[in-house]
A and B are shown apart, each in its own frame.
Chain A
Amino acid sequence: MKWTFFHKLGSPRWFYDIAGRHCAWLMMLSVVLLCIGTIWGLVFAPEDYQQGNSFRIIYLHVPTAILAQSCYMMMATAALTGLVWKMKIADMFIAAAAPLGAAFTFLALFTGAVWGKPTWGTWWVWDARLTAMLVLLFLYLGVMALRSAIEYSDMREKSTAILVLVGVINIPIIKYSVEWWNTLHQPATFTLTEKPAMPPEMWVPLLVMVIGSYLFFTSLVFQGVRNEILQREARKSWVKKLLATEGSTSD
């Protein structure tokens, strides 16, 4: 086992450099992919024979919904890692990811509601999938509220991690809600094991959007963690040297 990698990952200084090297191109690539995917989905993808054009909301709805859930799983993994190995980076990751997760969950709910109006005839129903997503939004907001209510301390790290871990129960509920209960919401659009039930002209732009959103998220998390590192390591000599030498430039 290469434990050196694991130890490096826990080192804020190492992560600061690596993330700084990659956040810019990740952001650029994600913007390109998101633009391509949006234009492809809005202009070139064929109309759905049942839903007409309103299905085009899928290109925003599905990536944000996937990301909303996988962001939470990443936070939970970080929370566990932080509790077990006392990695400072884990808590910084949660700090950076929670607002992003909240934004993506909100967007998934919003686009879902707007899609629901022409498709189901209603903005909102208290259906299992929708309710569980709303709970996810509240979990993200709860994590953010908890963090802002407590000063930086070991206790805040621990209580955040525990809250995140308790909330994990919601993720399988979201995922399997469309199978366990009769819901208005349709089953998953993408699965890893099966071919999508749409023609490639429809799902390829969707895949582009999903990948673009992941890269966007990664770049934002990298930048967010870098900001957290600067704040928390402010008294360390490497931060002093860094800010002194790099002067007023933004990097």
Chain B
Amino acid sequence: LSTLQTFFEMGGHGLYIWLCYGVGGIIFLLLGVSPMLARRRVIKQVKQLHRRLALASAIPSDVNEKE
């Protein structure tokens, strides 16, 4: 246990090192996850657009003209 403690203390520099790696880890994690979340959002949006376009083309043109 004491060796683990000396490891975390890092010769008195523990605070600095773990602060860096903590913030670094969080940022890397956020960067890694964000494109996957963005992809979901984009696919949802684009599908919505496709549904709208399909709906618009399904309506007979004379109805559109009257509006």
Q: How many residues of A contact B (CB 8 A)?
A: 40
Count A/B pairs, Cβ under 8 Å: 95
**Residues A76-130 near B (CB distance < 8 A):** 100, 103, 106-107, 110-111, 114-115, 117-118
Q: Known contacts A110-B20, A114-B20; is A220 also within 8 Å of B46 by CB?
A: no
Is B66 an interface residue, CB under 8 A from the partner?
Answer: no
Q: How many residues of B contact A (CB 8 A)?
A: 31
Tell me which residues across on chain A come within 8 A of B50, comparing CB atoms.
234, 240, 243-244
> Nearest chain B CB to A147's CB is how many angstroms away?
15
Tell me the dominant secondary structure on chain A's binding face: helix
In the complex, residue of chain A having the shortest beta-carbon distance to the beta carbon of B17:
A56
Complexed CA–CA distance, A220 and B39 (Å): 12
Interface string of B1-23 (1 = CB under 8 A from A): 00000010011111011011101
In the complex, residue of chain A having the shortest beta-carbon distance to the beta carbon of B54:
A240
Tell me which residues across on chain B come within 8 A of A244, comparing CB atoms.
50
On A, residues with C-beta under 8 Å from B are 27, 31, 34, 38, 42-43, 47, 52-54, 56-57, 60-61, 64, 100, 103, 106-107, 110-111, 114-115, 117-118, 216, 220, 223-224, 226-227, 230-231, 234-235, 239-240, 243-244, 250
On B, residues with C-beta under 8 Å from A are 7, 10-14, 16-17, 19-21, 23-24, 27-28, 30-32, 35-36, 38-40, 42-43, 45-47, 49-50, 53
